[in-house]
């Protein structure tokens, strides 16, 4: 259960959104709204975002080769 005083959730959710934006171009809008410096060349956040994306791509290649990650949702049927 999330407590009202649990401030960590207010940092965790935006951080997850930024990470998701690094790997999914469709999610980039939320990053541009809440962390626009992530897209300004020369800014420290821009450098960190490139570093994170590079690390993600290296890990993905190491684990999956050149295969893309596929996330499937089965919302049309009741089974998982």
String of DSSP letters for 32-79: HHH-GGGGSTTSHHHHHHHHHHHHHHHHHHHHHTTPPP------SSS-
36 Cβ contact partners less than 8 Å away, ≥ 6 residues apart: none
Alpha-carbon distance of 18 to 43, in angstroms, equals 16
Residue range(s) defining the domain that contains residue 29: 8-64
26 occurs within a structural domain: yes
pTM of the shown model: 0.59
73 occurs within a structural domain: no
24 occurs within a structural domain: yes
Check residue 68 and give its pLDDT. 59
78 occurs within a structural domain: no
Domains: count for the chain: 1
22 Cβ contact partners less than 8 Å away, ≥ 6 residues apart: 31, 49, 52, 53, 56
Check residue 29 and give its pLDDT. 84
* Per-position pLDDT tens, the chain of length 80: 556 667 777 777 877 887 787 777 777 888 888 888 988 999 998 999 889 888 888 888 887 776 555 555 554 444 44
Check residue 44 and give its pLDDT. 94
């Amino acid at each position: 259960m999330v407590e009202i005083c649990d401030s960590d959730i207010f940092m965790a959710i935006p951080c997850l959104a930024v990470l998701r934006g690094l790997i999914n171009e469709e999610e980039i809008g939320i990053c541009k709204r809440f962390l626009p410096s992530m897209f300004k060349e020369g800014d420290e956040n821009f450098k960190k975002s490139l570093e994170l994306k590079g690390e993600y791509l290296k890990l993905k290649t190491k684990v999956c080769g050149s295969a893309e990650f596929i996330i499937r949702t089965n919302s049309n049927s009741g089974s998982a």
